Structure 1
Amino acid sequence: MMTTSPSLKSRTDAMLNDLGHAAHQAGDSVSAQTEALERRVGAAWTQMRQLEESAARRARRAAVSTDEYVHENPWQIILAAAVLGFAAGAMMGSRRRRHRMHVS
């Protein structure tokens, strides 16, 4: 049977104690970092919700303003839509003609 010297046993116990202490400190550090990360993520979610609510408010205001303008100026809107439709149709027709010329 092999016996260990008291100094080797005390040094081993001291090393194990130091390792346990280091592991405990590392765990505390990880816990603190986790809590800090959770706080930052929570703050980011809060800010995102505030931005979303702000964007929704602005979109509603724009929709109301647009609706009011269209009701107050229906003929101008009809004319503008017709001009835009004509211009889009002319551009698409021009592209088709050029495409056919290159293909033939």
Structure 2
Amino acid sequence: MESNGQYGSTRDRLLDDLKLVLRDAEDLLRSTGEQAGEGYQVARAKFETTMGMAKDNLSEMEQLVAENARAAMESTDRYVKENPWQAVGVGALAGFVVGLILGRR
């Protein structure tokens, strides 16, 4: 369960968008592979290098996000197991507040 709500879904959309951009860039490189000119070839090689670094960074970021999410889940699970009545109280309070908010609409 994602503990940071909207931030998590925004982050996931951003990661998906970055993957799409990288795929589109790879397709562009494949389709323009036959272009002539030394300047173009230098720019293409530089772009390929930059894109490779971006893919590596994206992969590292995904791994870090997964590790952080896992750590947060484990921490929450540990807290609930160590403090079950406090967790029940917090859940009840959250339910009460949501009920009040929805009741005013």
Q: What TM-score range do you get, normalising by the shorter chain?
A: 0.5 to 0.7
Higher relative contact order (CA 8 A, sep 6+): 2
Aligned residues: 70
Q: Which amino acid aligns with 1:87?
A: V
Q: Which amino acid aligns with 2:72?
A: A
Give 1:32's aligned residue. Answer: 42
Give 1:17's aligned residue. Answer: none
Q: Which amino acid aligns with 1:88?
A: V
State TM-score, norm by structure 1.
0.63
Q: Which runs of 5+ in 1 are unaligned?
A: 1-25, 96-104
Give 1:64's aligned residue. Answer: 74
- Determine whether 1:52 maps to 2:79: no
Instruction: Choose from 51, 71, 80 the match for 1:41.
Output: 51
1:39 alignment partner, SS class: helix
C-alpha distance in structure 2 between counterparts of 1:33 and 1:90, whole Å: 60
CA RMSD of aligned residues (A): 1.2
Give 1:83's aligned residue. Answer: 93
Q: Pick the structure with greater CA Rg.
A: 1
Percentage of pairs with the same residue: 37
Show structure 1 runs of 4+ deviating over 2 A. none
Give 1:92's aligned residue. Answer: 102
Q: Which runs of 5+ in 2 are unaligned?
A: 1-35
C-alpha distance in structure 2 between counterparts of 1:27 and 1:91, whole Å: 65
Structure with higher helix content:
1
Q: CA deviation at 1:75?
A: 0.8
